[in-house]
Structure formats: C-alpha cells, structure tokens
Amino acid sequence: MSSGRVPRQARVRMIAAVATVCALAAAPLAPQAAAADAPPYSETYRPQFHFTPQKNWMNDPNGLVYYKGEYHLFYQYNPNGTSWGDMSWGHAVSTDLVHWKELPLALTHDDEEMVFSGSAVVDRDNTTGFGTRKNPPMVAVYTRYDKSTGIQSQALAYSTDRGRTWTRYQGNPVIDIGSRDFRDPKVQWYEPTKSWLMTVSLSAEHKVRFYSSKNLKDWTLLSEFGPAGATGGVWECPDLFPLAVDGNPDTIKWVLVVNINPGGIAGGSAAQYFVGDFDGTTFTAEDKGSYTPPAGTVVQDFEGSGFGAWTTTGTAFGDGPAAGALAGQGTVEGFDGTGLANSFHSGDGTTGTLTSPEFTLASPYLNFKVGGGRHPHEPGTVLEQGPPPAGTVLADFEGGSYGDWTATGDAFGSAPATGTLPGQQQVSGFLGGGLVNTFLGGDATTGTLTSPEFTLDKKYIDFLIGGGNHPAGSDSPTAVELLVDGQVVRSATGRDAEALNWASWDVSDLAGRTARIRIVDGNTGGWGHINVDHIMLSDTKAQPVSQETSVNLLVDGQVVRSATGSDSETLDWASFDLRPYLGKTARIQIVDHNTGGWGHILADQFTAADAPALSALQRADWADYGKDYYAAVSWEDAPGGKRYMIGWMNNWDYSGAVPTSPWRGAQSIPREMALRTVDGRVRLTSKPVNSVASLRQGDAATATGVTVKNTSQPLIGPAAEGKALDIEATFSLEDAERFGLKVRTGAGGEETVIGYDTTTQQLYVDRTRSGAVDFNSTFPGVQTAPLKPRNGKVTLRILVDWSSVEVFGGSGEAVITDQIFPDPASQGVRVFAENGSVKLDRASVWHLASAHH
C-alpha cells in the first residue's frame, strides 16, 4: 500500500518536520460542521466527478482490472474512520471510468492482518484452480501486513462472482522474504512465457523486484531494478506496462512507474516513471547520460581548511569544512572536491548557522549542492527564542497543579509534568518548570483538560505546543481547541516532535466573546500525545522559533529564497532564481536549527551562473508534477488495448488534515496513457479519459481572438463560471512574461492560478490563495512543470471540480494535479497576462454534470 504503513508512517512522521505547527481550523472547520447536515455527495468540497467513498478514509487505488463490462476500482480504505488505519480494500465499479457505484467492502482487515495495496487479475485459464475455465476466478494479489511482527508479505484472495465476495487463499503468504518494506504487487499475464509477472517494491532500498509464476502461488525471482532516478523517499506502488511509441505498434517500449514518498517533484508524494525495455526477465531503463551543470563562477567550494570570510554561530558546523561524513553519520556522497559544509558535528542535537559576507547579485542564478534533513524554512519564524509576548497568562502550568482546569481520562495525571516522561524522547522548548504532557503511561492513555471560561479581550491567543500531529476533526486528535458556545472555532496540533514551539490564533473577530480552551488527547497510536505550555492572551502574535535545516538567500535581512535537504546524506543540485534581485546586496546563510531526526544540513559548490542547475528530482521523469497524484497504477485487460491510469489525489504531507467530511481522500480522473516523442525524447503522456465529455452540459461557452495585456479580466462572463468545469484553451505567445487562466475566483482575492511562464518555459499552478490553505504549512505554494511551446502556442486542458484542478499541458507531457478548497461562492474564471501581451486564440468552457446522479 503506498503509504501509511504503520512503521513507515511513524518513521516519516518523526523525521519530516514539515507538518504544520498550527492546523488553524477557522476555515476548515466551518465546512465540516455544515457537511454533517448535507445530503450525500453535496457536501462542501465533495468532488462531483472524481471517485470518493460516501464516508471514511481512502488512499491508494488497488486491484485495477476490467472484467465482463466493468472496470473494478479497489482502494485502501478504513471502514472505521476518516484517518489512516484498519487498512482494507474498498470496492467500486464503473462501465465508463466516470460514473462509479460503490460496493460493499471487498477484503477486510482482521485480528491478524491489514490488507495493504496490490492488484487483481482475471485468471482466464484457471491456473490457480480457484475457479473453472468456464467461470475463471478474479484473483487479488495484495500485501499482507502482519499486525504482530510488522512483516509485509504477498498474499492471495479470489472471487468467482465478479469480485462481489472474496475468499482468502489458505496457503498465504505466497512470497515472504521477512521484510517490513516489501509491498504493493502489480501482477499481469506475460504472454511470451505464458506466465504471471509480478512487479513489487523493496521500498526502503529504492528497488523494484520482478517475479514469475505459472499459477500465482509459486513464484521465482527474476531480477531487480534500482536504485535510479529520484530516491528521496520510499518507493511504492510500482507498475510495469508496454506502450507503442507515437502510436506505432512496431515500436514498443516498456514503462516502469515507481511512486515515491516523500521526495516528489513538488514535495512529498509523487509518481515517477522510467521508459525502457523488458525482455521477460529484466527491465533496462534508457540511459539518459551523466549530468553536467551549467558553468559559472564558484562563490564558495569549502575546499580550504577554514570557512574563510564566512562566519559561524553555534557548534553544528565546527570550525571548518568537513571532509565527508562525521562521527556517527552515514556515508555522505555527492559533494565536489574534498570538503563541504556539514552541520552533523556532535550529531543532530547541535544547532548553528554559517553565513557568507555580503555580495552583489550579478548573475541570474545561484546554483549549489544541498543534502541532509528535510526541514524547510517557514516564513515568520525567528532564529532565537525571545521572551514571551506581553499579555495575560491564562495558564503556565507552574506550581504543581492544574488549578481550576478540569481533567478527564488518564493522560494528564493529577498535575503538570516537569519535563520528559519515562520512555519519551527529550522534551524541550517549554518555559519554567512545568507543562502539559500527555505521554503519561505512554501514547496509549487519553483524556481532556479544559480551562474555566474567560473573555477574549486581546487580538491573539499565543501558546507553546508540541507532540503528535493529529488535527482536531480527525478520528483521534491530539489538539488544542478554542471553544465558543461549545463549538470548536480554532484548533492546533503538534508536528510529531517533542520540541514545543509557539502557535497563535487571531481571535480579533471574536472580541468580547466568552471562551474555553480544551486540550485533547484522543490518540493511542504513534505520537498519540500532546505537549502544551504558557497559554496567554496578547495583542502580539508570538513568533515561532525556526526548526529548519536550510540554505537561505537573504536580501535586506529577509529570506527571499530557501532550499532544504530530502532526508538524505547524498547532496544534489539546487538553484535560486536571482533575477528579481539583480544588483541588490545579499548573503547566503546555511541554517541548522533542528535537534530531531535528520536535524542537520549539507551544502557545497555555490556557483553564480547564467542558467539553473537541475536536481535529480528535476531530471527524473514524472507522470504528474502536482502535489496530489500518488500511488498511480493502471488497469489490466482494458478494452481495445488501452492503458488507463489513476492516482490517489492527495499527499502524505497533509492527507490526514484536508478539511473534508464525512470522507477523506479522492481519486484522480482516470487518464489514457501514451508514449510520445517530445523534444526528441520519448515521454509518458496522459489525457483525461474520453468519457469525461459525457458529463458536458449543453454547448460550450467560447471566447476567440482575445488579446490580453497587463491585466486580469473575466474570461467570458457568467456563462463560463462554475465549480465543475472542463476548459480547453489555446494561447499564442506574444511578449507577456506570464499568462493563463484563473479559476474558482471570488471575494477576498480567492483564486487558483493556472499559468505559463515564458521565461522559464514552465506551466504552473499557484494555490496560495485557493481558499482554505492554512491546515498545513506545506499545502500552499506553486507547482511547476516543464513545457515548451509548440509552433509559438501553448494549449491547456483543465478539469475543475469542487476541490481540485487537473491541468494537462501540450500533448499531456506536463500535468499538474492539485487539491483546492475554495469557498463554494468562488466560481469565477478569468484570463490574465503579466508584463506584456498574449493572444487567446480560443477558449471553450463546458459545465460538467455530477457523476453521482
């Protein structure tokens, strides 16, 4: 299954301090409250033509197979709640890949196992003996997660009634190598050898294995592929299939899809692919050659015995460049020459900065190598913890008691903790000698702690928070909640780290209201506890302390560009675009302010250049460049030899916090895949399945021959506005630097920008103002995909749903899939051009009917 594996999930949570400190629920919680009363499939944010289960958690698509007129979509499903857990296979069927019928649960978890991701085949020759040749069985090949050992092995279940009921094979597991990271089998019939072929992931080793069988029960190892391409996270949900190049059946290439998390092209989860050849035993990827970065002027290469004019604070960087790995560190690779900056001196617990002297920005790009921890710089953080803001302290948890606060359950004990509790990692960042710490008795204890009533008479509530990342509104929260009239109006959660940090709620709109604070620990799993201290009313917003491991560019003392590692000791190229700041004075600052897992940074080879260096991520090939396309796999046995693919439209960085209810998780639109030669290279391309057009209502609203200069204007008017749209647009380049369309525009500047940057030749989606974005710090942002104009034109196909955009650029080689959570009233569509003119040759906009009716 991709993803939430218990051990993997826990490990990712511990090392990826990217979850937000503050899951501010003012925007997200309002729709949840409203959703409870809405008729099914009409709730706020409910997709209208993407598959979602009626309720509960869904992630990876599984078991994709076509049989007797039905496309089967199985999927990772929690029958018991809206967060990851109790993994089972949900089930839906469709005759056209657009209208789906949800069926009863197919394979359910039990006391011994969870049912992780896998595939399904129709055993037409009854090689298993599970059915007959007249009524061949449908066989599911899934990863069996052993609850007692954490071992992942491959297992079978079968159905003889078109997938409606299932029987587990008594001989399970059929492949067991004793690994905790061995999952997501994709099985197909390989005609040349008249045998079954399994593609399965050794996820932690960044390898894919191929096995062969005559009966789906007895398997022989054929070969391995990897590591290759992007390896910044675990490899999951592999898929292997042949496609004709440019539609020529005499030229067949094989595509190996490998989903990766974290370490995707847009951060977090993503679907990468390799094009190559498969000879029945071995997959060989096409050789793309070695990479040579653009030439330039070296600013700092860390080859001397000291740092020269660069200055240090703290102890993390030592007194000079490192020669490679330091004591206790894994092998460090990818740096140039003999030296690099390495902040692992004395381990992850040390902090510090390394800062260049001032210099004038004279080149368009600053290229450099970076590695180490994935802890991005967050705007608004400070490097040093100052005194608390002035104001009224509601609780500082000093003095050995909770005072007039009321506790329930057993997680809080009878008095505040004095620091770290038995069995807990070190707790830091609290003030004084006491704090709330619900690790009492470990993660298994639960309870609440509620304040007396108080009046909201200042602009902010500031508090220190740490512990588990389980937002309010999830099944098992670890959260601080603000209650007004008994309703939760603000909430915050931890970031799976024991260090407390400042969080703030703007409560100016609630001035004069009476409120309570409730601290909730409802979680008994990993990181099932919360740390809280020093809750206060203030007119000053508290500034959280940086927990970054990053390389920053400072102009006028402000961080204007930043890069972080990918939880890897291998350095890779990164690049800062300096063009907006040419002629200004700047500094480079390398920052290690993290004391947890991967709490260090590596850097080398700072070079001023005329072109950007490309990272391994950027040099890899991606089926989708958006934030929300993961665990992508394809259907077997589709009619007409078509290859259709679907992905989970979410990202493990924030999947548990998206503001939807009573369901959480959606699938992408199914896509028809093809191999095309683009700019001299064979690329995997995709387009929405043709049956999407069956949802188009009436004739399109159209615009033709519109020149747009330095402005944003309505595309057509009310006829083109809506929450569920299918848009086709062709632009002719003139001199505009950026141009495109804005969708779901509305009051307060709400918009999702779908644009093209002519200076970088990139398609982009900007969702920083797309509605609810503050539930996780990694959610807002801009996603980009390389796209060259064709004959001076850029063509776009855009699918807009109630909570997503999918953008297909060119021939489908540049695709960006992003979730958005706009106000339902934001339905505008605008066309724009920046710094010049563009000609909109033609735009057609169709309203799409709901696929639920």
Three-state SS for 147-209 is CCCCCEEEEEEEECCCCCCCEECCCCCCECCCCCCEEEEEEEEEHHHCEEEEEEEEHHHCEEE
Dist. CA 309–CA 617, nearest whole Å? 32
Dist. CA 243–CA 241, nearest whole Å? 7
Q: Output the CA angle 725-726-728, nearest 5 degrees.
A: 135
Residue 15's H or E segment, with its range, is helix 6-15
Residue 635 structure tokens: 């259907």
Radius of gyration of the chain (CA): 27
- Number of alpha helices (DSSP H) and beta strands (DSSP E) in the chain: 3, 54
Residue 592 structure tokens: 């290690």
445 and 410 Cβ atoms separated by less than 8 Å:
yes
Q: What is the DSSP letter of 417?
A: B
* Collapsed DSSP state (helix, strand, coil) of residue 845: strand
Dist. CA 763–CA 814, nearest whole Å? 7
Residue type, 703: A
Dist. CA 768–CA 763, nearest whole Å? 16
DSSP notation for 53-95: -SSEEEEEEEEEEEETTEEEEEEEEETT-SSS-S-EEEEEEES
818 CB-contact burial (10 Å; exposed 0-12 / middle 13-18 / buried 19+):
buried
851 and 98 Cβ atoms separated by less than 8 Å:
yes
Q: Which of 74, 29, 61, 80 is nearest to 661 (CA)?
A: 29
Where does 292-388 show beta strands of DSSP type E? Answer: 296-300, 311-314, 341-342, 352-355, 359-360, 365-372
DSSP notation for 277-332: EE-SS-EEEPP-----PPPEEEEE---SSS-TT-EEEESTTTTS-BSS--TT----
Dist. CA 7–CA 146, nearest whole Å? 12
Q: Output the CA angle 313-316-318, nearest 5 degrees.
A: 80
674 and 820 Cβ atoms separated by less than 8 Å:
no
Q: Output the CA angle 79-83-84, nearest 5 degrees.
A: 80
* Collapsed DSSP state (helix, strand, coil) of residue 799: strand
Q: Which of 179, 161, 182, 206 is nearest to 116 (CA)?
A: 182
Residue type, 101: K
Residue 775 structure tokens: 């539930």
Dist. CA 791–CA 732, nearest whole Å? 9
Dihedrals phi, psi of 103, to nearest 5 degrees: -110, 170
Residue type, 171: G
Q: Which of 697, 716, 696 is nearest to 705 (CA)?
A: 716
Dihedrals phi, psi of 641, to nearest 5 degrees: 70, 15
Dist. CA 298–CA 321, nearest whole Å? 16
38 CB-contact burial (10 Å; exposed 0-12 / middle 13-18 / buried 19+):
middle
Dist. CA 567–CA 601, nearest whole Å? 9
Tell me which of 37, 60, 96, 218 is the catalytic residue: 60
Residue 246: active-site member: no
Residue with tokens 């006028």: 556
Strands 696-714 and 671-678, how do they pair?
unpaired
Catalytic positions are 60
